[in-house]
Copies of this chain bind each other. A is one copy, B any other.
Amino acid sequence: MRDGGSITIKEVAQLAGVSIATVSRVLNHHASVTADTEQRVREAMLELGYNRNEVARSLKIRHTRTIGIIAPELSNTFFMEVVETMDCILTPHGYTMIICSSNDSVQEEQRKLQVLIERNVDALVVIPASDEGGHFLTKALSGIPVVLVDRKIPALHVDTVLTDNRYGVRQLVAGLVHEGFSRIGFIGGDMHIPTANERFHGFLEAMDDHKLKPEKEFVLMDGAMNQYSGRALMEEALSRPNHPDAFLFANDSLHLGATTYVTECVSPEVRSKLVFASFDYLHYAPLLRFCHYAAAQPMEKIGKAVAALVLKRLEQDWSGYPEEVVLRPEIKVMSANGGIPFMIVRAETPVQ
């Protein structure tokens, strides 16, 4: 906003020879304006290059038509794909998104939350950095829609849309077992990230279903769920004697890191026996050559569900609050890598 430069309704009114109220009326499509007057006003606006000042308007009407988004990372394809879908739906409704990164830190998440509150966002969508979400309990948020995505915060009773992690992991294990594997390694992440936690427990349950025992030395997890830890954990697993050939990864980054490590550093003899399964299926998934089964998160469905929920609450429809939408991942069988189609196991988790 450069000083003094911008045109206001006052100047438009003057040029059109009407009052500012009339200008405001044509701006807001109030019916009660003569076609002729409207014409004059429109011409004046065009001639002056008028642009409505949304911040003045927001101050007056007491909302901003802005949705705040907080995600742990901007450079994460999964998150941004979801956000992109939301954008496609929200934009036609006149909403603009302020997207913030929490940089995977609760502290930064708190700071960004503060910023968004001060900017009077009409609604808030957050992919939490962890299961610690006390800062969302502030009364500054009371009355404004908040929807949690991908990761649940137990203490927060708000609308939530999630992927069915347990279902996904069970299917992946089922695929591996169907191929004949009875020993399966697990490579996961921080138990404070709800998704990591659920995927791990889903793994334990699935193994139990098949009367299989997880082996402690081959259930590896550390704080991060990134490429580097995937690499390191894979190296650690393969360095141990008598390691399994089948591994399950809790997300795409771990999987990617592990695949890179194996491709670059592991002998063809052991490499050729390796079989992977993993959560996530992103655009580069076809290159993950050891992968037989993947649980593709329905990013578009998630985005649509979130947008619908936000819009619904924004219209003051609070029916069913708080809603929990659980979406199933799609199980991909990567036959090009040797995956074998198998019967999807009976679901014990909610449908859709």
Q: Which residues of A contact B (CB under 8 A)?
A: 1-3, 5-6, 49, 51-56, 58-59, 62-64, 73-75, 77, 80-81, 83-84, 87-88, 96-101, 103, 114-115, 117-122, 138-140, 142-144, 227, 256, 259-260, 263-264, 283-284, 286-289, 336
Contact B286 A263 (CB under 8 A): yes
Which residue of chain B is the closest to A288 with respect to CB atoms? B287
Docked CA distance A117–B50 (Å): 11
Chain A interface mostly helix, strand, loop or mixed?
A: mixed
Contact A120 B54 (CB under 8 A): yes
Contact B5 A143 (CB under 8 A): yes
Contact B53 A118 (CB under 8 A): yes
Which residue of chain B is the closest to A256 with respect to CB atoms? B284
- Each complex incorporates copies of this chain amounting to 2
Distance (whole angstroms) from the CB of A4 to the closest CB of chain B: 8
Contact A54/B119 with A75-B81, A75-B84, A264-B336 known, Cβ cut-off 8 Å: yes
Distance (whole angstroms) from the CB of A91 to the closest CB of chain B: 8
Docked CA distance A62–B81 (Å): 34
Docked CA distance A262–B269 (Å): 24
6 contacts between A and B (CB under 8 A): A1-B120, A2-B144, A49-B139, A53-B59, A55-B55, A87-B100
Contact A74/B63 with A120-B54, A120-B55, A286-B260 known, Cβ cut-off 8 Å: no
Docked CA distance A292–B101 (Å): 34
Taking CB atoms, residues of chain B closer than 8 Å to A64 are 1, 55
Docked CA distance A87–B227 (Å): 22
Q: Residue A84 contacts which of B96, B101, B115, B138 (CB distance < 8 angstroms)?
A: B101
Contact A87 B101 (CB under 8 A): yes
Contact B59 A59 (CB under 8 A): yes
Q: Residue A87 contacts which of B2, B51, B74, B114 (CB distance < 8 angstroms)?
A: B74
Taking CB atoms, residues of chain B closer than 8 Å to A284 are 256, 284, 287
* 9 nearest A-B residue pairs (beta carbon): A2-B143, A1-B120, A287-B287, A284-B284, A54-B118, A260-B286, A74-B84, A74-B80, A75-B80
Q: Residue A75 contacts which of B3, B52, B77, B336 (CB distance < 8 angstroms)?
A: B77
Docked CA distance A138–B2 (Å): 14
Distance (whole angstroms) from the CB of A72 to the closest CB of chain B: 11
Contact A96 B100 (CB under 8 A): yes
Distance (whole angstroms) from the CB of A76 to the closest CB of chain B: 8
Contact B73 A84 (CB under 8 A): yes
Contact A122 B1 (CB under 8 A): yes
Contact A287 B256 (CB under 8 A): yes
Taking CB atoms, residues of chain B closer than 8 Å to A56 are 59
Taking CB atoms, residues of chain B closer than 8 Å to A121 are 1
Which residue of chain B is the closest to A94 with respect to CB atoms? B115
Docked CA distance A49–B51 (Å): 35
Taking CB atoms, residues of chain B closer than 8 Å to A142 are 2, 5
Which residue of chain B is the closest to A6 with respect to CB atoms? B140
Taking CB atoms, residues of chain B closer than 8 Å to A2 are 142-144
Taking CB atoms, residues of chain B closer than 8 Å to A256 are 283-284, 287
Q: Residue A227 contacts which of B53, B144, B283 (CB distance < 8 angstroms)?
A: B283
